[in-house]
Structure 1
């Protein structure tokens, strides 16, 4: 899709044209998006999208709307509210497609992933803008996520070509003992809104490459960009039934996706509460993979570069508007440098431009939805009531036209935070940083580990001995030295400890393929 911009007499009009790879059969209205005068919405023709079941684009009677969190009057699209009927049809289609896909050659599976990656890369700018408009993150992050998704598809296309079993030595010269890695069958993929295309890709790509078929349910806050991933796979020639896409509320269709007897695995990223619910409902023979919440610490030692540490805290805590499971929510600082660190953190936070993510100058976009805004505001009030000192920010922004129709809030910084306070224990999932002061490395580790989560953690120090000890002492699945708590490589394992994960199978990297396969041990005598 190519966006052409015309500006006449202060009217700002977006005209949308299809390009070759997109077919009109999956959209029910003309491709027209909002017409605006300045920043004010004048009229809208809302595009209606469809589910994707057994290789066909399918409508439902009930629909819901996805809106721009920077301007809730801007409707991104209208999507199907799937029911048990559509979910069962999707699972039946995936079950029927599984035998042939499981037998398909790795090179043909890889060809589909590589072609889909081509499609995403060729349209990265347009898709990045759609992602930003739907989720709210800044435009550079939106475009970056599209490119990362393409890289993820390519990575698993390559890894799948050499992903195989083992041969074991034994004492019988006339016997060979090997293992075979086989696909599980139908896999349910349930994903969040904060990385609405890259998280699905790191689940779907290894699932497909190892021969499984997929039921994909994205967050109802970001169905469009998830739809684009499925659309790319469709255009890449994936056989019917191999991937199926349903949108709707988890309260309506979540149980069907989890408990259907044909579903052999469920991979989920989201809140710990939702993950626990899924884990309890899945059957004994349904494999689960849960990547859940975090309360991630950044420890700042006496010898740290304070300016660098403050920048790491800003990047980890306020980029993506604090809406990352690996986001920095606690900064544990040695008392001797706490005052200097706090000053530097406030100074850098004040410099952040808050606004619509489509504006190139914006550094912090809106929160993703009304629930997020309500939750963050409630936690800011909780912090005040608990006796923490709100030393910067925390106000909802509504004073200008840019802010009045969006979910904007100032990043908040709390000082004088005690480890037992709720803002130091519970996941807020927003731009709120709690500063805790300690007297020693040992106390810092005790505080850092004193929560129920264990997803990501980092330390800032120039002492190699301290850094090395930290990697052993910290209870987290992702451990960093002199880097932000956020971010992970597509070729390295990712996952948490404690209530941040079920700690069964890791995502990402070659390890990310293990979840989608089962091992068969074969003894052949001659």
Structure 2
């Protein structure tokens, strides 16, 4: 319609067009001009991507955060790329039996095979076919790996940030070169169709480049000394066997740490291919060790060791809690389960909603942590028989089969359904019926067609349980408020989707839903590095809430110490709370007597830094890429209440700085001291912050009373000044609750200190309507590639 009514289109003039008129002459001239330009046009495709083309060494280029761009996925519509995909299948399909990969343990630079238990890798598309054999690390291997990582004989930790960046740039190139083999391994060992594994390789490349750039940015901070944390253990899942282990390894290495990768037992072959790419790039085998082992024995020893300075886990919520219970002082960064929901309101484009839901629920057979497994329909949509029929028809049309078949849209689950997934696929609860009945193949128990349950009730097993497979539960909501409540009841908070064209509903949902990644009018899967940093809240995350694929992720794997004061030139503070505190400090006659000039100067510097960093980074939403038709905002949400625990060894700066950081971040603050603890700094702070009223509270409680609050989840976040000041009784309570204790040294540099009082959230909004940008047509956006 827009084109036909444009000033250059004859239809606009058709009803009043006369031969010889000005309009006639203008249209005639336009026609002649366009005809004369025909010779300038080419009939060659503008899309020239060719995955068969060799990649030169000069393509290993380091990037900065400002120049980073995402790696393009494969365009399978191009004949040359389709032939490349067929070549992957031809190359990998017969690597079975005696020709299957023989995978060692790699510890201390050595490949170890003899005198170790041998396990096999099975193809989910062909369950009796062996596609790999791997050795399980012994307890001695685990201990040797930890000792080697601590000793760092290759000197990886002592390399400069620039040298590590060059190696990681080569690693990104090697991953590009290995794209086909990584996809082939994921197909053979993980049952992933090529269209699902291809974006994983792009994401892995993005992780390597983006984390190297992030580390470079953090190392450039002038007010802090930055060092590696030490030894990082990476425990990835099997469902994203390329991207997630690559991300953990890349983050650890970029921060300067030595890394031990314990691959998922179901996808050891993929992890082996991945590690080889890093080693070919120049990452020493002593800096990246490959330790396949049983989770209950070698894996437990690996993550519980005091030699492990951080553990990056992607797995179940129960797994994370067990790890913390066994090792309360573990520095655990975990992305865990999700009972993800998409809400569809009466104000949605219903056909578009069905398209998004089907892809989100059944991509990779529903085995994505971000997959939609709850569909919450507003009453009008739920009661619409056409919607139910269309959704059911779309689900039934999904082609389920072997991942080796290029026509397959949904491949197998990685192992035959059991436990929660088996129950979810086989049982109905009160009020439920099958809109689409799932079926399991008699020839291959890993092949299951998707199922849709209709009429799931609030609080039911299906409502509250993560199934991690191809089953979608449909619930009815009275309105958007009821729908939000149903979603938040699960306690998980990984991804969440809304299908609505109503701005009021979109605003209500965006501000009220508890999830780390929010998606509006699009699918809930497929997060892209920098564009939609990934990670959850609630039962879906353990740690400070800093997202994978975001600019601060590697900061968790570094140590920081103040080396100089932030510039504290007299300037107006934008934060009302900090401005009020500064006025109170300047006016009070006892400030120098209580704090001393040195501490007072550090507090002033911290005020300045917190204020500047908050309004530049933490207090605003960021969308660097600015894609046409899609908003992608990375924003920070304050932890509602932070409990600042005062230890007898805390100095005045550590006390003041934590409370200041919490307030500038818009958190409520509970300043917690032990009964009978006397601190002039606490008393002085209480007096100075009288005007903060309900935003700060001073409480007395024993360590045991504090631990009881943590165990009962009545504390949202604890902030200690140093890790050695956290008592054992409080650490043990953490293992039962999963509450995050921020115990890094207190800094005057706001770019780091403010991280411990916030959680990150990504909001992705597909604002165009079938390519029509509407009122936003004239916005300055990135050029369309």
TM-score range normalised by the length of the shorter chain = 0.7 to 0.9
TM-score (norm 1): 0.86
Higher Cα radius of gyration: 2
2:641 counterpart residue number: none
C-alpha deviation, 1:33, in angstroms = 2.1
| Rounded Cα–Cα distance in structure 2 between residues aligned with 1:230 and 1:305 | 44
- Answer yes or no: is the 8 Å Cα contact 1:396–1:410 preserved in 2: yes
User: RMSD of aligned C-alpha atoms?
Assistant: 2.3
- Answer yes or no: is the 8 Å Cα contact 2:218–2:555 preserved in 1: no
1:209 counterpart residue number: 254
Give the total of aligned pairs: 476
2:523 counterpart residue number: 484
| Rounded Cα–Cα distance in structure 2 between residues aligned with 1:387 and 1:301 | 22
Match of residue 251, structure 1, among 284, 296, 300 = 296
1:358 counterpart residue number: 404
C-alpha deviation, 1:487, in angstroms = 2.2
Q: Secondary structure at the match of 1:364?
A: coil
| Rounded Cα–Cα distance in structure 1 between residues aligned with 2:214 and 2:489 | 38
Once structures 1 and 2 are overlaid, which stretch shifts more, 257-266 or 483-492? 483-492
The answer to whether residue 544 in structure 2 is matched with residue 504 in structure 1 is: yes
C-alpha deviation, 1:98, in angstroms = 7.3
1:71 counterpart residue number: 126
- Answer yes or no: is the 8 Å Cα contact 2:224–2:562 preserved in 1: yes
| Rounded Cα–Cα distance in structure 1 between residues aligned with 2:194 and 2:502 | 37
2:234 counterpart residue number: 189
Q: Secondary structure at the match of 1:100?
A: coil
| Rounded Cα–Cα distance in structure 1 between residues aligned with 2:91 and 2:454 | 48
2:113 counterpart residue number: 59
C-alpha deviation, 1:211, in angstroms = 0.6
- Answer yes or no: is the 8 Å Cα contact 2:360–2:525 preserved in 1: yes
1:229 counterpart residue number: 274
| Rounded Cα–Cα distance in structure 1 between residues aligned with 2:154 and 2:132 | 35
C-alpha deviation, 1:274, in angstroms = 0.6
| Rounded Cα–Cα distance in structure 2 between residues aligned with 1:114 and 1:55 | 22
| Rounded Cα–Cα distance in structure 2 between residues aligned with 1:463 and 1:153 | 39
TM-score (norm 2): 0.58
| Rounded Cα–Cα distance in structure 2 between residues aligned with 1:476 and 1:348 | 27
The answer to whether residue 340 in structure 2 is matched with residue 289 in structure 1 is: no
1:420 counterpart residue number: 459
- Answer yes or no: is the 8 Å Cα contact 1:71–1:406 preserved in 2: no
- Answer yes or no: is the 8 Å Cα contact 1:128–1:144 preserved in 2: no
| Rounded Cα–Cα distance in structure 2 between residues aligned with 1:272 and 1:71 | 30
Greater fraction of residues in strand: 1
1:103-157 deviation digits (Å, cap 9, x = unpaired): 2112221222221221221231232122111111211112231232122212223
- Answer yes or no: is the 8 Å Cα contact 2:343–2:375 preserved in 1: yes
The 5-angstrom pairing of residues 158-177 of structure 1 reads 158-164=213-219, 166=221
- Answer yes or no: is the 8 Å Cα contact 1:98–1:186 preserved in 2: no
| Rounded Cα–Cα distance in structure 2 between residues aligned with 1:199 and 1:161 | 21
- Answer yes or no: is the 8 Å Cα contact 1:83–1:252 preserved in 2: no
The 5-angstrom pairing of residues 347-426 of structure 1 reads 347-370=393-416, 372-373=417-418, 375-382=420-427, 384-398=428-442, 404-426=443-465
1:141 counterpart residue number: 196
- Answer yes or no: is the 8 Å Cα contact 1:493–1:512 preserved in 2: no
- CA distance 1:44–1:287, shift in 2 (3 Å): same
| Rounded Cα–Cα distance in structure 2 between residues aligned with 1:195 and 1:267 | 14
- CA distance 1:81–1:323, shift in 2 (3 Å): same
Once structures 1 and 2 are overlaid, which stretch shifts more, 313-322 or 48-57? 48-57
1:430-453 deviation digits (Å, cap 9, x = unpaired): 011111011211111111111121
| Rounded Cα–Cα distance in structure 2 between residues aligned with 1:369 and 1:114 | 36
1:335 counterpart residue number: 379
1:54-98 deviation digits (Å, cap 9, x = unpaired): 222112521111110111122110111112111111111111117
- Answer yes or no: is the 8 Å Cα contact 2:178–2:277 preserved in 1: no
1:216-257 deviation digits (Å, cap 9, x = unpaired): 101100001111111111111112411111112101212211
| Rounded Cα–Cα distance in structure 1 between residues aligned with 2:429 and 2:351 | 30
| Rounded Cα–Cα distance in structure 1 between residues aligned with 2:327 and 2:187 | 34
| Rounded Cα–Cα distance in structure 2 between residues aligned with 1:15 and 1:128 | 12
- Answer yes or no: is the 8 Å Cα contact 1:66–1:78 preserved in 2: yes
1:329-376 deviation digits (Å, cap 9, x = unpaired): 001001111233322211111111001112111111000113x45642
Match of residue 520, structure 1, among 554, 558, 561 = 561
| Rounded Cα–Cα distance in structure 2 between residues aligned with 1:80 and 1:188 | 19
The answer to whether residue 478 in structure 2 is matched with residue 434 in structure 1 is: no
- Answer yes or no: is the 8 Å Cα contact 1:32–1:47 preserved in 2: no
| Rounded Cα–Cα distance in structure 2 between residues aligned with 1:515 and 1:283 | 18
1:491-526 deviation digits (Å, cap 9, x = unpaired): 14321111111242422221211211122122489x
The answer to whether residue 264 in structure 2 is matched with residue 264 in structure 1 is: no
The answer to whether residue 193 in structure 2 is matched with residue 114 in structure 1 is: no
